[in-house]
Structure 1
Amino acid sequence: MRLQEACDKFNSLAGIKFGELFSPSDMDMIIVNKGKTGQLLELALGMHLSSSNLDFEDGELKTNKCDINGNPKETVFITQISSVIDELIQERPFEETHLFEKISNILYVPVCKDGNPRDWMFLPSINIDLSSSRFSELRDIWRSDYYSICSQLKHHIETSADGYIHTSNGKHIQVRSKDSKPYHPIYSNIYKRDVSNKNHAFYFQKQFVYDIKRMNG
């Protein structure tokens, strides 16, 4: 399924309470495991869940917990960095990176989780396509964030007391730890050693949501 098709289908569902949108068994799953909303959105769109690199043929689905006005309650996970640590250290050109692939065409879906799960709902989605001049400001911000984070990570590796990477922030994007025990160290072929004792990932910070709401307003 292409992202625009999914966007059109989804927006016909926006504003419908989960109790009306999903079956009782789906609602039981939501109540038991509140982290399944992204998968439920895929099911609502008639998609097959997969472990492929992208959720759509030409883009990525990103959901986020918000209030009724679409204000974010959480940051937005983008992708793990362990497999690309050396391209970050080497500052591979932004448009050639795994990160760019994951964020160059996004269907951003805020999920209002105020009150009872049966009253939750998907809010209108925003399709962020970095090839559109409309989002040139975002492309510039994310490119700047990427190079800043690459520089910060390299600085941490070379100067911090433990020789590890640490939380690195841009305006919208950050890298921070994302792992659970047993932890998964990140090994760099460039430095020939572990550069972290646990996995890390890219996230969109909350400011990202406020800015795309403004651009889409």
Structure 2
Amino acid sequence: MKLAEANQRLNQLSGKPFGELFSCEQIENIIINKGKTGQLLELALGMKLSNTNLDFEDGELKTNKCDRTGKPLETVFITQIASVIDDMLTEKPFEETHLYEKIDNILYVPVCKVGFPAQWMFLPSIHIDLTKPQFASLREIWRDDYYSICKQLEKHIETSKDGFIHTSNGTHIQVRSKDSKPYHPIFSSVYNREVSNKNHAFYFQKQFVYDIQKMAKEV
């Protein structure tokens, strides 16, 4: 399934309580599985439940917990950075990066999880394709964020007391720690040493959500 089709289907269901969309048994399974959004989406799109991540033919799914108004309650995970740390420290061109592959065509799906699971609902999803002219401004923001973060990480390694990378922010994109014990240090071939004692990841900050919601209203 392609993102445009998924976007159309989900927007037809937006605002409807899960109690109207799913059976009691399905909702119970969702509760047992800690409300995994991938399973909710598979059910809503008429797809067979699987143990793998929900993938689309032409892009990435980005879900987020929100309130009834669509206000984001969390940041949005993009991808981990351990395998691309040296690409970042050498400032590999943005359009050639793993990050760009993850965000050049995305479907943002806000999920309101207020109240009991039967009261939860999807809110209008937003399809962002960076190849389209209307998203040129986002492409510029994300490119600037990427290069700014690369420079921030390099500065942390060069000047911080521990010699490690630390949280780095752009306008929409952020790099911060994402790991659990036992931690996974990040090794850099550029510096020939560990540059972090735990893994880190790219995230979209909440400002990303506010800005794309504004753009969607203006279309």
Secondary structure in 2 aligned to 1:187?
strand
Residues 105 and 129 in structure 2, CA contact (< 8 A), matched pair in contact too: yes
Q: 2 CA distance for matches of 1:198 and 1:47?
A: 36
For structure 2, which runs of at least 5 residues remain unmatched after alignment?
A: none
Residues 156 and 163 in structure 1, CA contact (< 8 A), matched pair in contact too: yes
Q: Provide the TM-score with structure 1 as the length reference.
A: 0.94
Alignment match, 1:114: 114
Q: C-alpha displacement at 1:33, in angstroms? A: 4.0
Alignment match, 1:127: 127
Residues 10 and 125 in structure 1, CA contact (< 8 A), matched pair in contact too: yes
Q: C-alpha displacement at 1:69, in angstroms? A: 1.1
1:117 partner amino acid: P
Question: Can you list the C-alpha shifts for 1:70-114, whole angstroms capped at 9, x where unaligned?
Answer: 111110001111111111111111011110110101110111111
Alignment match, 1:194: 194
Q: 2 CA distance for matches of 1:47 and 1:56?
A: 12
Q: 1 CA distance for matches of 2:39 and 2:82?
A: 24
Residues 85 and 188 in structure 1, CA contact (< 8 A), matched pair in contact too: yes
Range with greater deviation from structure 2 (37-46 or 161-170): 37-46
Q: 2 CA distance for matches of 1:157 and 1:83?
A: 17
Alignment match, 1:173: 173
Alignment match, 1:39: 39
1:67 partner amino acid: D
Q: Kindly report structure 1 stretches of 4+ aligned residues shifted beyond 2 Å.
A: 23-26, 29-35, 46-52
Alignment match, 1:80: 80
Residues 29 and 36 in structure 1, CA contact (< 8 A), matched pair in contact too: no
1:136 partner amino acid: A
1:59 partner amino acid: G
Residues 75 and 204 in structure 2, CA contact (< 8 A), matched pair in contact too: yes
Change over 3 Å in CA distance of 1:90–1:167 after alignment to 2: same
Secondary structure in 2 aligned to 1:74?
coil
Alignment match, 1:214: 214
Range with greater deviation from structure 2 (129-138 or 32-41): 32-41
For structure 1, which runs of at least 5 residues remain unmatched after alignment?
A: none
RMSD: 1.6
Change over 3 Å in CA distance of 1:87–1:35 after alignment to 2: farther
1:101 partner amino acid: E
Alignment match, 2:64: 64
Range with greater deviation from structure 2 (23-32 or 91-100): 23-32
Secondary structure in 2 aligned to 1:141?
helix
Question: Can you list the C-alpha shifts for 1:181-212, whole angstroms capped at 9, x where unaligned?
Answer: 01111111111111111110000000000101
2:191 partner amino acid: Y
Q: C-alpha displacement at 1:35, in angstroms? A: 4.7
1:29 counterpart = 2:34 = no
Range with greater deviation from structure 2 (27-36 or 99-108): 27-36
Q: 2 CA distance for matches of 1:211 and 1:171?
A: 10
Question: Can you list the C-alpha shifts for 1:90-140, whole angstroms capped at 9, x where unaligned?
Answer: 111101111011010111011111122210100111001111111111111
